[in-house]
């Protein structure tokens, strides 16, 4: 099944699309009422170079569960939305900004928060399932007949005998009845009108997740007794319920929002970045991948299968372009510490290499990939950067990933204006493991492009 995207205006010289900055100021209903400029200024005043402990949950206060389209799709490692909510309501962060750029979109938390603040947003995401979920999350014009469209597809699937099985590897994850019903739905989704394709694909992905014989408590598919005897009727019920939830959530979005676009691509590729002119008023706000032990691709492998992104059940081609991957190619398995810019990072990686060569190679690859990403920011002189990162426990020690990433950004000439640490872990991060488990703190680092750049 091919991917569909709704592009905005084309970005000059790249053939890529970028959102058009809003012509008119955002309508008041868009803007969440609170501003945090005073709180942020107080933090900046006390900043001496060491991270300041804050609780974004306390600063922002309770937010309704799954408001708007947050929670539309259960992606792992979602960003605590209090963080972009706070930052985007802070003058020091949004002054002079008319585009928010997230090179690691995930399920689209930052893009939606930017829209809610009246800021146009563009993001890049390499995992096609996450890219799909975030495209729907920030849909521009929400059609008012979503439920009718999704219900019609369900009715047609119930009537048809046509089946589409994008990958036979999916079969073992479903009862016979559920598998057959999903294949009927998949054939109707593939035949859907192009303008409905994302909505239909998302409903199929959510339904396939819900009726799988997997343990819902574990983000990656692990066989369980759940749904072992699911029938086609259970699948129709699941689709109807997901359809209702999608329509309700999309219906709750404020009617007029600036555009947001998701580019399915690789953040290392400079062609997907804002051009130099746009970059002058761009805020890069992102929670990048965490180094290792991340299973974004595996956590979406069943959905990827049903949507045609994983022929023969294989997702290795998706994983190959992921930053922070576990499986390295033969070339990447050689530890080339010379590729790493900072002396401190090289020293830390040498210590890891002495204990576990493969693990060190994974981190060398990760940091070189992230260097490439930040080089794109510097090449375009992106005005401001706000990163939400963490640390990793590696071979019995702590790798200060956030500090090393900050050092890379500083080495590119950016001024580090503040570092905050939220000890309450915001992301529901994946399975714990000995090598690579992220520690339970988020670091929020803000950088400013050098004057005259
Ligand atoms: C920490 S998650 C972002 C979570 C997001 N803030 C949210 O709230 O859902 C990092 C994301 O980076 C994506 N990613 C990994 N490598 C990438 C690459 N080379 N280019 C773009 N995205 C990539 C992963 O697929 C993952 O979705």
- Residues 102-148 have pLDDT tens digits of 999 999 999 999 999 999 999 999 999 999 999 999 998 888 899 99
CA angle 202–207–212, rounded 5-degree value: 130
Q: What whole-number distance in Å separates Cα of residue 435 and Cα of residue 390? A: 15
Q: Where are the alpha helices (DSSP H) in 387-433?
A: 401-411
Instruction: Give the list of residues 6+ apart from residue 179 with CB closer than 8 angstroms, or none.
Output: 170, 171
Q: pLDDT tens, 296-308?
A: 888 999 999 999 9
CA angle 139–130–204, rounded 5-degree value: 80
Residue of the CA atom closest to atom 7 of ligand 1: 78
Neighbours of 61 (CB within 10 A): 10
- Does position 256 have pLDDT exceeding 90, yes or no? no
The CA-based diameter of the chain, rounded to the nearest angstrom, is 68
Q: Confirm or reject: Cβ of 261 under 6 Å from ligand 1.
A: no
Q: What whole-number distance in Å separates Cα of residue 23 and Cα of residue 255? A: 16
Residue of the CA atom closest to atom 13 of ligand 1: 104
> Domain map of the chain by residue range?
32-139+258-288+323-448, 146-251
- Ligand 1: residue of 85, 104, 113, 401 to mutate (most ligand atoms within 8 A of CB) is 104
Range 23-27 average pLDDT: 43
- Ligand 1: residue of 106, 271, 315, 373 to mutate (most ligand atoms within 8 A of CB) is 106
What stretches of 82-132 adopt beta strand conformation (E)? 99-102, 120-125
**Which residue, among 37, 20, 51, 24, has the nearest Cα to 88 in the 3D structure?**
37
- Ligand 1: residue of 85, 126, 304 to mutate (most ligand atoms within 8 A of CB) is 126
Q: Give the end-to-end CA distance of the chain in Å, rounded to a whole number.
A: 43
Q: Confirm or reject: Cβ of 124 under 6 Å from ligand 1.
A: yes
Q: Confirm or reject: Cβ of 266 under 6 Å from ligand 1.
A: yes
Q: pLDDT tens, 11-24?
A: 322 323 333 333 44
pLDDT bracket for residue 291 (50, 70, 90): confident
Q: pLDDT tens, 39-60?
A: 999 999 999 999 999 999 999 9
Helix axes 343-355, 357-380, angle to 10 degrees: 160
- Does position 26 have pLDDT exceeding 50, yes or no? no
Q: What whole-number distance in Å separates Cα of residue 203 and Cα of residue 132? A: 11
Q: Confirm or reject: Cβ of 267 under 6 Å from ligand 1.
A: yes
Q: pLDDT tens, 47-94?
A: 999 999 999 999 999 999 889 999 999 998 889 999 999 999 999 999
Neighbours of 262 (CB within 10 A): 27
Of residues 85 and 293, more confidence is placed in 85
Q: What whole-number distance in Å separates Cα of residue 112 and Cα of residue 109? A: 5
Residue 13 alpha carbon to ligand 1 centre in Å: 25
Residue of the CA atom closest to atom 19 of ligand 1: 266
**Which residue, among 312, 297, 317, has the nearest Cα to 170 in the 3D structure?**
312
Do the beta carbons of residue 179 and residue 171 sit within 8 Å? yes
Q: What are phi and psi of 36, to 5 degrees?
A: -120, 20
pLDDT bracket for residue 430 (50, 70, 90): very low
CATH of 32-139+258-288+323-448, one of 3.40.50.10860, 3.40.640.10, 3.30.70.2190, 3.40.50.150: 3.40.50.150
Find the length of the chain.
Answer: 453
**Which residue, among 76, 99, 39, 87, has the nearest Cα to 444 in the 3D structure?**
87
Q: What whole-number distance in Å separates Cα of residue 32 and Cα of residue 24? A: 17
Residue of the CA atom closest to atom 23 of ligand 1: 126
Q: 142: buried, middle or exposed (CB in 10 Å: 19+, 13-18, 0-12)? A: middle
Residue 124 alpha carbon to ligand 1 centre in Å: 8
Across all residues in the chain, what is the average pLDDT? Answer: 88
- Does position 278 have pLDDT exceeding 70, yes or no? yes
**Which residue, among 30, 303, 47, 361, has the nearest Cα to 166 in the 3D structure?**
303
pTM: 0.91
pLDDT bracket for residue 294 (50, 70, 90): low
């Amino acid at each position: 099944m091919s991917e569909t995207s709704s592009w905005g205006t084309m970005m000059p010289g790249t053939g890529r699309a970028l959102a058009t900055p809003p012509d008119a100021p955002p309508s008041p209903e868009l803007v969440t009422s609170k501003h945090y400029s005073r709180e942020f200024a107080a933090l900046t005043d006390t900043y001496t170079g060491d991270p300041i402990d804050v609780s974004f949950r306390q600063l922002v206060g309770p937010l309704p569960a799954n408001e708007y389209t947050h929670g539309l799709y259960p992606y792992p490692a979602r960003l605590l939305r209090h963080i972009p909510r706070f930052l985007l309501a802070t003058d020091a962060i949004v002054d002079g900004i008319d585009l928010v750029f997230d090179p690691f979109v995930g399920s689209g938390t930052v893009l939606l928060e930017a829209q809610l603040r009246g800021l146009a947003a563009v993001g890049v995401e390499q995992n096609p399932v996450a890219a799909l979920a975030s495209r729907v999350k920030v849909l521009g014009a929400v059609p008012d007949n979503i439920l009718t469209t999704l219900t019609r597809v369900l009715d047609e699937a119930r009537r048809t005998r046509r089946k589409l099985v994008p990958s036979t590897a999916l079969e073992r994850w479903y009862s016979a009845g559920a598998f057959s019903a999903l294949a009927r739905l998949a054939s109707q989704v593939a035949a859907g009108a192009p303008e409905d394709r994302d909505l239909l694909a998302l409903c199929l992905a959510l339904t396939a997740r819900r009726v799988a014989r997997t343990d819902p408590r574990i983000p990656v598919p692990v066989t369980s007794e759940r749904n072992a005897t699911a029938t086609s009727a259970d699948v129709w019920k699941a689709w109807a319920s997901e359809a209702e939830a999608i329509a309700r959530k999309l219906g709750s979005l404020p009617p007029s929002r600036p555009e947001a676009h998701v580019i399915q691509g690789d953040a290392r590729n400079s062609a997907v970045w804002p051009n130099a002119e746009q970059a002058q008023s761009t805020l890069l706000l992102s929670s990048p991948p965490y180094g290792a032990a991340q299973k974004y691709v595996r956590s979406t492998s069943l959905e990827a299968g049903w949507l045609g992104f994983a022929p023969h059940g294989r997702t290795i081609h998706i994983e190959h372009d992921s930053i922070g991957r576990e499986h390295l190619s033969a070339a990447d398995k050689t530890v080339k510490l010379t590729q790493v810019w900072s002396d401190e990072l090289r020293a830390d990686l040498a210590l890891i290499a002495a204990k576990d060569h493969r693990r060190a190679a994974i981190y060398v690859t990760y940091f070189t990939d992230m260097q490439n990403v930040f080089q794109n920011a510097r090449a375009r002189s992106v005005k401001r950067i706000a990163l939400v990162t963490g640390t990793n426990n590696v071979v019995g020690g702590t790798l200060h990933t956030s500090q090393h990433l900050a050092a890379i950004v500083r080495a590119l000439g950016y001024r580090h204006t503040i570092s905050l640490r939220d000890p309450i872990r915001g992301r529901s991060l994946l399975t714990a493991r000995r090598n690579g488990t992220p520690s339970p703190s988020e670091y929020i680092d803000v950088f400013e492009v050098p004057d005259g750049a």
